[in-house]
Structure 1
Amino acid sequence: MELESSSSSFSKPKSQWTYDVFINFRGEDTRRSFVCHLNCALSKAGVKTFLDEENLHKGMKLDELMTAIEGSQIAIVVFSKSYTESTWCLRELEKVIECNETYGQSVLPVFYNIDPSVVRHRDEKHDFGKVLKIIQENIWKMRLSRWSRALSEASKFSGWDASKFRNDAELVEKIVEDVLTKIEYDVLPITKFPVGLKSRVQKVIGFIENQSTRACIIVIWGMGGSGKTTAAKAIYNEINCRFGHKSFIEDIREVYTHGPNSKGHVHLQEQLLSDVLNTKVKIHSIGMGTTMIENRLSGKRVLIVLDDVNEIRQLEDLCGNCEWFGQGSVIIITTRDAGVLNLFKVDYVYEMEEMDENESLELFCLHAFGEPNPKEDFNELARNVVAYCGGLLLALEVLGSYLRGRRIDEWESVLSKLKQIPNYQVQEKLRISFDGLRDPMEKDIFLYVCCFFIAKDKAYVTEILNGCGLHADIGIPVLIERSLIKIEKNNKLGMHPLLQQMGREIIRGSSIKEPGKRSRLWFHEDVLDVLIVGFVEEIIKNRGEKRDNIYVEEIELFYSNSNCSQ
């Protein structure tokens, strides 16, 4: 069965739904068989049900039952041969249709051991219709027209005909799967100000919608702080209602940094299986978890998001092979390191785009001023901060929030400081990629590029660094895969300004007060200071520590020439 999408939207907020599903049925026909199994399966799947069993609710007031119907997001109506014999069922059905028309409540009919046409036409040749004829002749005749209308409307909804399934178990499984796709789950929290997010998300969703029925792997790739996780959450929120089996696993890199024997690895497998299967799963080892994922999810149509992947084993532990999953499955991976995907067949790679100048200014101002445009006195300062951020979403959010409510002189002081010492919160996020480099040569290459080779020809830089024994012909591609450097026009090396500042800060931090002890120098002031100190030390070493006028004049002459050269 394909569930039809309702044309009406919910006017009732999610917080006001008391139950996920209200089950309306005739107890004598299905109480101990089909409905019992259905209710149990829904409950195991985490669906909160209200089971209308009239024998259990005889003490319940009618208005309480009506309130339960109003508070249910979905109503499952189980039509059976003696359904119309219960005025209780008919009154509830009337309320269900009213709620559908008022609140957009979903109505899902099940035709159990009765042909759908019998319900639609209510022919008196069948008991289903004969009972209505009897009703017409008793005290309920005033409500007959409304009940007949409710029966007619309910039978028009897309539902399930039990005769089309091999057994009740198969029917129950299908109902649970379809119900899960219709329940309005709470969405994942994303950014407060989603500037530019929609256009980026739509590029990925557009690819998904144009895919065939086969499973596909999508990668969202970009440097730290570029908004990969935010984009993945927005995509998940947009499409998760189309999947009965889904899971969003966040901060995978963080869990795996605790070591290969960490229980966190197994916990992620448990989370994935529990989410997708809608039941609590316990795993005792990584190997057991991988086998369970392959076997238990085999053939199921799933939506799985794996956030912040940085090692191939993480993918092997959590999704192994795309062929494990059913047709139409979507696996979304966010990563800083495209290299971890080399062993996987990836269908689409979306590289996170830097925010353009207008988007950057709007996002920054929303955080700094609470409105999309800068205040008049802060216009130039705001644009200077935006230029410093270079379109990096994290930097715009962090600095905008930090500067909110501060005076102009404080803004000026912050800008001046940023030119020398970067914001710690931003740098901490960016440094994760650098610290993740396991080869010291790759770290050296990155630091050399930071200091000396931005906008230099890739082949030229490779030749120089190879001459230093750094194997740059291998190292540079690794840095590109890890979003630490990029290739600009004409094969020139490029790097985000904040990454460059981060690299230089790593060097500066190794010896803050004594530049001469740093591994690299790029500021001419530092170079001159080191040369001067070295020159003075050399004079003292060669001529002794006696400082007569000749030595002093020689030192002063060196200082004078150094200042002129600036």
Structure 2
Amino acid sequence: MLSSPLKPQLIHDVFLNFRGEDVRTTFVSHLNAALTNAGINTYIDHQLRRGTDLGQELWRAIDGAHISIVVFSKRYTESGWCLNELKKIMKCHRTQGQVVVPVFYDVDPSVVRHQKGHFGEVLSATAEKVYFNYDSGWKVNVMSDWRSALTQAANLSGWDVLNCRSEAEIIQQIVEDVLAKLDSAILRITNFPVGLESRVQEVIDFTSTHPSKACMIGIWGMGGSGKTTIAKAIYNQIHRNFANRSFIENVRENCEMKNRGIIHLQQQLVSDIINRKDYILVTVLATSKILKRFRGKKVLVVLDDVTTFEQLQALYGNPKFFGPGSLIIVTTRDARLLKLARVDYVCTMKEMDEKESLQLFSWHAFRHPSPIEDFGEFSRNVVTYCGGLPLALEVIGSYLYERTEEEWKSVLLKLERIPNDQVQEILRISYDGLKDNMEKDIFLDICCFFIGKDRAYVTKILNGCGLYADIGIAVLIDRSLLKVEKNNKLGVHDLIRDMGREIVRESSEKRPGKRSRLWFHQDVHDVLTKNSGTENVEGLVLKLQRTSRVCFSASSFKEMKNLRLLQLDCVDLTGDYGCLSKELRWLHWQQTTFNSIPDDFYMGNLIVIDLKHSNIRQVWNETKLLGNLKILNLSHSKYLKTTPDFSKSPNLEKLIMKDCPNLSEIDKLDEDIVQMESLTTLIAKDTAIKENLNNNMSFLSPMVRSLSQLRTVCIQCRSKIQITQELRRILDDQYDVNFTKSETSHASQISNLSLRSLLIGMGSCHTVMDTLGKSISQGLTSKDSSDLFLPSGNHPSWLAYRGEGPSAQFLVPGDIDCDMKGIILCVVYSSTSENIGAECLISVLIVNYTRFTIQIYKRDTLMSFNDEDWKIVISNLGPGDNVEIFVVFGHGLIVKETTVYLIYGQSITTEVESSTNMEMEPSAELNTQPSPEVDVQPSPNVKVEESTIVQINLPPEVKVQSSSTMEMKPLPKLNKSIFTRLWKKMGACLCLNQHIDKGLNNF
């Protein structure tokens, strides 16, 4: 009995055969992308390995394919390679049962079948040439074989693109046909997979670097950002590597909509893994029982749209119980959930760029990768509106498909007022998932009034409304409803913003006066004109230009008894100001025309009063009891002459009087400052106050005396660095330290036996800081620590600079593409007693010799360093700045050396090795000339504007002394850590960080 030939091992799902010059960059490119994104392993000839026998490589690829797709085009028969591949494909079809799918791109099937016309003529011309036969090893005439292969292929059932109205549709049909021919494990994803490849590859690359451990990956982003699509694409690409696999869709929906939701999901998970579709659960299984069934198995589990940590615990427990190589993928809108789950990697969904957005939108709106004629501008307007959100691009694009130009215009006008309901339905899930009504109020307040405002500023206002905004805003960020943008500004995606505003509008579509918040110009104008406001109104904004100034009666606000937030720009009120709500917390009234705040205006609950660009001459006539007032901004009030009486404003934190040219009378301001213990920022730049201070420095004294009560102090010089003898003595007295050569010189004589180390972190550097601390701890117990060094790879990049003694000097790297995330100070010191460095630490000084600033951070501030503090640090650093950082200790501790680590959020172009070539002028050689003006700025633990300074005059005879000993070269990479030669002799390593109890941690 004859044995049947052994079927070759299948190594590809699909082999693509085509004439490259005709279709490689068009149809085949789109087809290949669609197949790949559907998880179909596709072989295309650019995968040929260099240095291999091309013929043998192609023959192996064809032999190892489950399906061959042959794309016929007009010039197909010009290629002998294509025809020989086709001959091989048809042989595999006859002998191995390989599936062949012909696609007729721009040629009729009958032309291919009978080789007619130009197609047949070119075939004859090509056949006249003699080609090498890779099967037999000699040269033969192949005309008859080619004709036979063409006829056989054209007789098979295939796809006629020539007579199809949409390439996109036929590509999707081909993909679905291939999936049906392969297996049912493939998940269907989007019809137009634009931008998927790079995002999927990001996750695939991570999994490939951790092949021997069970990993958990989180995919996080706002609704409609493509989380599920990415998860499915990843699953499709890798699921064949797992015998045990499960994709659980819509976890949230199943848990909410079904009485036995979690039981249903557990049943699906277990039945998928053990491959028993008849598996039935009656009650919820304990996680331990689920894990018992999975223990040691290599599994792939995808949990889509998870909303609570309890759902995760019920479905997977701990991935460490799974076998090596297992992969758990979780998609969610809640970043905190992923933190609790301690995932190994988080893939953050980002908005599509303009090019990708336009392409995705065009596929849905025109079934073509770019807009058709006359619709380009319309399309770009829609893309801008969608803000890179895939869901919106798909939904609105599909809605506009085959609509007229007038219909497009109508849709765009409607979108300006009323968001698309399908998009809003998806986005609103995140809002509805908020358990706390306070969080919902915070979200709606920000959507309507505070987008682009400083986070600390908004937090202060909303805390004053009793909304607990610190935790509330954090929750909204985790839920992808808010984001913090550059300079600590609060941001909201445009469609999320529209969703929030639509929630408010829907509460009373016909009567704006019954809504909780009013922001739309026409609605506000109507309510104030018709006196139709009600007690429902909690916030109102009307922003006009000077040329559009309007006037309303104050009685229009009489019924708005719960009004908390009010912004009026270029708006005047007449009548009884007692009609305004007594619940006001935020008053933002620019371009006011009154000379002083009316006496009948109740302000007792106000947190913020902002009267910028006003005509005010005197803030109030009589002393006001303003116990809640924290911020008063009178900037650009050109007629303001005198400061108000603050004796009854004990909690004022920020007083801003910038650019008030006629402000010359300070009216007991020095006395008030001493009493206002909460005051952290005073700005009086570009005022006439300095004229009165030139010959009288008494105003400075109370400010200086209050420095010890401040969280942070920033000193801004007008020209080159100047530290007056008077100010130097004050700082020395306050911090009980002297920067002298004698003290620094002792550092070189310290015995290594008494050395200890201290880590001080500023900014987002906790991962590197923890790793550094652990490395030092390991070094202390290691017999040979010479090979220990700070990690790289997944950790942020850094540059390191060492200095002898209590300071280190460096140049801020000039690569503006780098984003500095934090600074770590590593201090090696010696103690004459049992003193611990963190206990004796007084402060850290950051001196910028380029920008002429000195920042002083006290120990208490360093122990609770927050985002606002870091913002102050980074606002005073720029590319190329010459900076020196001092660490100030009390008596009994001597610093041997200080190292500064600049931590970056992404790899920097300047490597550590190359940083040793940086040249710097030592600070001791700076030629400084006294300047008549120095600015002192006490900085709060909230956002500080760049110009937040108090102008004062200092004596001109003062000279400057720079630090006496320092080494300004960055650490070379070869010297893996500054602690390499010291680890064995260090007595302790401490870490100063706000995330460690009491700021200390003994490793």
The question of whether the paired residues in 2 share the 8 Å contact of 1:10 and 1:103 is answered with no
The counterpart of 1:357, out of the listed 334, 340, 354, is 354
The answer to whether the aligner puts 1:488 opposite 2:491 as a matched pair is no
Confirm or deny that 1:282 pairs with 2:280: yes
Looking at structure 2, the residues matched to 251 and 347 of structure 1 have their Cα atoms a distance apart, in angstroms, of 23
Q: 1:211 to 1:527 in 2, by over 3 A?
A: same
Q: What does 1:104-143 align with in structure 2 at a 5 Å threshold? A: none
Greater share of helix: 1
Q: How does 1:60-79 map to 2 (within 5 A)?
A: none
Are the structure 2 counterparts of residues 10 and 238 from structure 1 closer, same or farther at C-alpha, using a change threshold of 3 Å? Answer: closer
Three-state SS of the structure 1 residue aligned to 2:341 is: coil
CA distance, structure 1, for counterparts of residue 442 and residue 555 of structure 2:
32
* 8 A contact 2:92–2:98 mirrored in 1: no
Residue in structure 1 matching 2:471, options 445, 450, 474:
474
C-alpha deviation, 1:287, in angstroms: 2.9
SS at match of 1:293: helix
Change (3 A) 1:196 1:517: same
Report the equivalent of 2:235: 236
Shift of 1:384: 0.5
Kept in 2: contact 1:487–1:494 (CA 8 A): yes
Equivalent residue number for residue 300 of structure 1? 297
Number of the residue aligned with 2:438? 441
Distance 1:447 1:187 in 2: 41
Separation in 2, partners of 1:323, 1:388: 44
Summarize the Cα distance change of 1:363–1:491 in structure 2 as closer, same or farther, 3 Å threshold. Answer: same
Distance in 1 between the 2:312 and 2:13 partners?
38
Secondary structure at 2:300's aligned position in 1?
strand
Could you tell me whether the CA contact under 8 Å between 1:243 and 1:303 is conserved in 2?
yes
- Going from structure 1 to structure 2, the CA distance change for 1:256 and 1:530 (only over 3 Å counts) comes to same
1:488-527 correspondence runs (5 A) = 488-527=485-524
| Deviation readout 1:344-400 (Å, 9 max, x if unpaired) | 121000001211101100111111111111112111111111110000000000001
Structure number with greater CO (CA < 8 Å, separation at least 6) is 1
Residue 244 (structure 2) pairs with residue 245 (structure 1): yes
Aligned counterparts of 1:538 and 1:227: Cα–Cα separation in 2: 50
Is residue 459 of structure 1 aligned with residue 456 of structure 2? yes
Residues 482 and 491, structure 2, Cα contact 8 Å, conserved in 1: yes
Alignment-mate amino acid for residue 251 of structure 1: N
SS in 2 for 1:265: helix
RMSD (Å) for aligned C-alpha atoms: 2.8
CA contact (8 A) 1:367 1:401 kept: yes
Aligned to 2:213: 214
Give the corresponding residue for 2:866: none
Match of 1:190 in 2: 189
Q: Specify whether residues 390 and 11 from structure 1 end up closer, same or farther in structure 2 by C-alpha distance, changes over 3 A only.
A: closer
Equivalent residue in structure 2 for 1:313, among 288, 310, 313: 310
Q: In structure 2, how many angstroms separate the alpha carbons of the residues matched to 1:454 and 1:12?
A: 52
Task: Tell me which amino acid in the other structure corresponds to 2:335.
Answer: A
Q: 1:461 to 1:98 in 2, by over 3 A?
A: closer
Quote the offset at 1:102 in angstroms. 3.9
The yes-or-no answer on 1:269 pairing with 2:266 is yes
Partner of 1:399 in structure 2? 396
Q: Is the 8 A contact 1:184 1:241 kept in 2?
A: no
* Partners of 2:386 and 2:393 within 8 A in 1: yes
Change over 3 Å in CA distance of 1:515–1:186 after alignment to 2: same
Residue 378 of structure 1 is aligned with which of 375, 378, 384? 375
The one-letter code matched in structure 2 to 1:238 is Q
Q: Aligned letter for 2:503?
A: I
Give CA-to-partner distance per residue, 1:445-486, whole Å, 9 cap, x none. Answer: 000110111111111111111111111100001000000000
**Residue 408 of structure 1 pairs with residue 411 of structure 2:** no
Cα gap change, 1:100 to 1:246, in 2 (>3 Å): farther
Report how far residue 343 of structure 1 moved: 2.4
Q: Distance in 1 between matches of 2:14 and 2:361?
A: 34
What letter corresponds to residue 217 of structure 2 in structure 1?
I
Cα 1:100–1:241, aligned 2, differ >3 Å: closer, same or farther?
Answer: farther
Alignment gaps of 5+ in structure 2: 1-7, 17-65, 67-90, 100-181, 532-551, 559-573, 576-591, 593-1003
1:472 alignment partner AA: A
Counterpart code for 1:196:
G
Deviates more, 1:517-526 or 1:300-309: 517-526
Per the alignment, do residues 378 and 277 of structure 1 end up closer, same or farther by CA in structure 2, a change over 3 Å counting?
A: same
Structure 1 residues 347 and 507 mapped into 2: Cα distance closer, same or farther (>3 Å)? Answer: same
Distance in structure 1 (CA, Å) of the matches to 2:266 and 2:238 = 22
> Is the CA contact 2:263–2:285 (under 8 Å) kept in the aligned structure 1?
no
Q: Which moved more, 1:501-510 or 1:320-329?
A: 320-329
1:53 matched residue in structure 2: none
Q: 1:456 to 1:279 in 2, by over 3 A?
A: same
Alpha-carbon displacement from aligned partner over 1:94-132 (angstroms, at most 9, x marks no partner): xxx988974579xxxxxxxxxxxxxxxxxxxxxxxxxxx
Please give the per-residue CA displacement for 1:245-289, whole angstroms capped at 9, x wherever unaligned. Answer: 000000000011137xx212111111101111111322121135x
Residues 1:420 and 2:423 are matched in the alignment: no
- Cα distance between partner residues in 1 of 2:364 and 2:92: 45
Larger Rg: 2
Residue in structure 2 matched with residue 51 of structure 1 by the alignment = none
Is the partner of 2:246 in helix, strand or coil? strand
**1:24-82, CA deviations, whole angstroms, 9 ceiling, x for partnerless residues?**
xxxxxxxxxxxxxxxxxxxxxxxxxxxxxxxxxxxxxxxxxxxxxxxxx8xxxxxxxxx
C-alpha distance in 2 between matches for 1:194 and 1:266: 34
**Cα offset, 1:324, TM superposition:** 2.1
Higher strand share: 2
1:525: Cα distance to partner?
A: 2.0
Residue matched to 2:12: 9
Gaps of 5+ in 1: 14-72, 74-96, 106-182, 542-556, 559-564
TM-score, normalised via structure 1 length: 0.63
Q: 1:361 touches 1:382 (CA, 8 Å); kept in 2?
A: yes
Cα distance in 2, alignment partners of residues 199 and 101 from structure 1: 38
> In 2 relative to 1, CA 255–403 (structure 1 residues): closer, same or farther, beyond 3 Å?
same
TM-score (normalizing by structure 2): 0.36
**SS of residue paired to 1:377:** coil
Change beyond 3 A, Cα 1:410–1:230: same
1:258 is aligned to 257
Could you say what secondary structure the match of 2:360 adopts? helix
Q: Residue type of the partner of 1:502?
A: M
The answer to whether the Cα contact below 8 Å between 1:465 and 1:472 also exists between their aligned partners in 2 is: yes
Change (3 A) 1:99 1:417: closer
Letter in 2 for 1:230: T
Instruction: Give the count of matched residue pairs.
Output: 379
Q: Tell me, in whole angstroms, the C-alpha distance in 2 between the residues paired with 1:100 and 1:268.
A: 45
Matched, 1:200 2:203: no
Identity over aligned pairs, percent: 58
**How far 1:504 sits from its partner (Å)?**
0.5
Contact 1:9 1:104 in 2 (8 A): no
Q: Deviations over 1:142-190 (max 9, x none)?
A: xxxxxxxxxxxxxxxxxxxxxxxxxxxxxxxxxxxxxxxxx85541000
Change (3 A) 1:384 1:99: closer
Cα distance, 1:524 vs. partner? 2.3
Asked whether the equivalents of residues 263 and 284 of structure 2 are also in contact (C-alpha less than 8 Å), the reply is yes
Paired with 2:230 and 2:421, the residues of 1 have a C-alpha distance of 24
Give the superposition deviation at 1:527: 1.7
Letter of the aligned partner of 1:341 in structure 2?
L
